[in-house]
A and B are shown apart, each in its own frame.
Chain A
Amino acid sequence: MSDLAIRCEGIAKQYQIGERETYRALRDALTEAFTAPFRRVQAALRRGDGGAPGGPPTIWAVKDISFEVRQGEVLGVIGRNGAGKSTLLKILSRITKPTRGTADIYGRVGSLLEVGTGFHPELTGRENVYLNGAILGMKKAEIARKFDEIVDFAELTDFIDTPVKRYSSGMYVRLAFAVAAHLETEVLFVDEVLAVGDADFQTKCLGKMDDVAKTGRTVLFVSHSTSAIQRLCPRCILLAGGRIDFDGSTEEAIGRYLRRVATDRYSAAADLEKPTITLASCEWVKREQCIVIRIGFQAPFPLYPPIVGVIVCDSARLPVFGTNQRFEHDDNLPKSMQNGIIEVCVSTSALRAGTYSISLWLADQYNDYCELRDVLSVQVDGPLPSGPQPPRSWIGSARLHTSYKYYEGDPNLMIGDARLV
């Protein structure tokens, strides 16, 4: 097929997990060199059962990924954290090699896995544009030709000869994105880079990506942002657990994605520098009609007082409810806490049935430390059997207590009736 841009066949990538944090010391390699022959024999004996027990634990970051993208097609890739999106993109961008499977790409490949890769703080904006452009694979002449356009796009004409270490973070990402946006390759891989800058600039970025998509270039676009995917990609792949869960229309992919993100558990490593939410879980307790959210946190210093924020959003990502103890006082709030679990119960008696996502936030009286957007999700079942309902966009997600009374008769005659005053 001549109009093929990308063909992936059975792409799989295996990673070793555990002991990744510590660097291998030479000593370890030496001991391994002695034991390796024995383990190789062991492994040969056990061949066939996939995961090698005794060997280092491994994980398939992606497995059996096969798809084709035609030239000029804009393909979205969505999936939860750890679904394999970034690994897939890294393989296709040739940053890492697949363990199995093959991929063929026809055309010059550009990949934007990050904005501002290789930016050096000591260099000026101008110098960084050239450096970053070269790193992304642009020729010097090409950068020179587009230089004014890039600077205009970044809205940094006056600061272009200032070292970027003097830039605000907004200016920095604007410049970085501007360079990236002017990369003109036939095939483009984009990872979440649209989420930069302020709202205005984000709109501009999306507009730019729209233009890119319309110039007939092949784009593989990975994002968490379902709205950006919806806007840019007619076709979308949903990844789950390293495999393709769905490949087809974006609308359906997003629908499946939202149903899939029903995560009730989150965990992360503690940070030595700042207070971090290390554990979070939630469940809907039917009997008590409430969502119980447990937030475990660890901090290098006590939080005075430990503040946790909770925002509940509906499936359209619209906030339904949010609170924290700073503005809604809690009598049980301890003076300080360094490590522990805080349990938050949110009554759901006023919520309609559906999937809700929960964002968490950790702070003390004055500082914010940790924010996790849409980190958990929970299924709330309505107390009533749900028949056909008007869409949420009409009636909202709240189900406030409502009562009705009925008076039969001529309304005009009833005016003055004591019961109705």
Chain B
Amino acid sequence: MATLSGDAFQLEPQLAAAPLPALLHVAIRPARGWSSLELGEVWQYRELLLFLIWRDIKVRYKQTALGAAWAILQPVFSMVVFSLFFGRLAKVPSDGIPYPVFAYCALLPWQLFAYALTESSNSVVANERLITKVYFPRLVIPVAGVLAGLVDFAIAFSVLIILLLSYGIHPTWTVATLPLFVLLAILTALAVGLWLSALNVQYRDVRYTVGFLTQLWLFLSPVAYPSSLVPERWRPLYGLNPMAGVVEGFRWALLGKTPAPGAMLAVSVLVVILLLAGGLFYFRRMENSFADVI
């Protein structure tokens, strides 16, 4: 039968003559438990990653009356409410920083984290069509979900600059470390997002959990209150919540007045590394069945 087809198809000889470059070899094998991360492949698909981020950003505020102003309104309103209730009424201490600045410095990374976490947790299910119809490294999807949040962050950051200027606060050299804390916030969201997005494919319970989880997490993080409220010896333990390290790190980097969150931050970084590594492997393991289960 094979010869039959060969005879019928005349193009064969010409093709054999054409010098073909070394062809890519794609090996398809049954899924066998844990597999390697193949982050190199994700890098190969970086253009797709950028396109997906671009799509999310482009589409987000389409057909909204206020558009990108939402990126500012959300943290600003949260700041106002926090200042009023926690700062003014409940008299929560703020380490000697004006409460609005104190809260806004924390709300910035917090909103970045909360948004990135929500987006990445739902990303795989939301992109069902892509997953069942096209091949690409699935990791691209939650990563894109997380990174798309950076634009909102940048917009909201402009308000912070105005806020700092109006309170006459000048950042010190510590501000140079800020990108590291942004990175840590992103990685925290990605680490948790990887677990949740993969779980979400099989258990739609995740969809309902995420909102609740972020709410709870907000109060477990020193956003409305300073971590100095937590007794000194418990602080490394408090760092088990990576967002505690991120938020205090933000305040330290921007305002330079609070003490550097040394031990707490170290614990946070360690937790993120473990969560992220676990999340990556878990995601890679689960992705084999995404197209079948989703």
Residues of A bordering B, CB below 8 Å: 3, 11, 15, 23-26, 29, 68, 70-75, 90-109, 111, 113-114, 117-118, 120, 122-123, 127, 130-131, 134-137, 139-140, 186, 214, 216, 234-235, 247-249
A-B residue pair count with CB separations less than 8 angstroms: 150
Is residue B131 contacting chain A, with contact meaning CB distance below 8 A? Answer: yes
Is there an interface contact between A135 and B51, defined as CB atoms closer than 8 Å? yes
Is there an interface contact between B134 and A136, defined as CB atoms closer than 8 Å? yes
**Chain B contacts of A97 at CB under 8 A?**
28-31, 288-289
The 9 closest A-B pairs by CB, nearest first: A235-B5, A234-B8, A103-B28, A134-B51, A72-B15, A94-B135, A248-B1, A105-B26, A97-B31
With A and B bound together, what is the CA distance between A104 and B29 in angstroms? 9
Query: Known contacts A114-B133, A122-B63, A134-B47; is A94 also within 8 Å of B28 by CB?
Result: yes
Kindly identify, within residues 156 to 196 of chain B, every residue whose CB is under 8 Å from any CB belonging to chain A. Answer: none
Is there an interface contact between B28 and A92, defined as CB atoms closer than 8 Å? yes
Interface residues of B, CB < 8 Å — how many? Answer: 48
Residues of B bordering A, CB below 8 Å: 1-2, 4-6, 8-9, 11-12, 14-16, 18, 20, 23-31, 47-48, 51, 54-55, 58-59, 62-63, 129-136, 202-205, 288-289, 291-292
> Least Cβ distance of A213 to chain B in Å?
8
With A and B bound together, what is the CA distance between A130 and B51 in angstroms? 8
Is there an interface contact between B134 and A113, defined as CB atoms closer than 8 Å? yes
23 contacts between A and B (CB under 8 A): A3-B15, A23-B203, A23-B204, A24-B202, A26-B205, A72-B11, A93-B135, A97-B31, A97-B289, A109-B26, A109-B135, A111-B135, A114-B133, A117-B133, A118-B129, A122-B58, A122-B62, A122-B63, A123-B55, A134-B47, A134-B48, A135-B51, A139-B47
Is there an interface contact between A107 and B24, defined as CB atoms closer than 8 Å? yes
> Least Cβ distance of A228 to chain B in Å?
17
Is there an interface contact between B203 and A25, defined as CB atoms closer than 8 Å? yes
> Least Cβ distance of B69 to chain A in Å?
18
**Chain B contacts of A136 at CB under 8 A?**
134
**Chain A contacts of B58 at CB under 8 A?**
122-123, 127
**Chain A contacts of B5 at CB under 8 A?**
73, 75, 234-235, 248-249
**Chain A contacts of B131 at CB under 8 A?**
95
Is there an interface contact between B203 and A91, defined as CB atoms closer than 8 Å? no
With A and B bound together, what is the CA distance between A71 and B17 in angstroms? 12
With A and B bound together, what is the CA distance between A6 and B134 in angstroms? 18
Q: Which residue of A lies closest to B3 (CB)?
A: A248
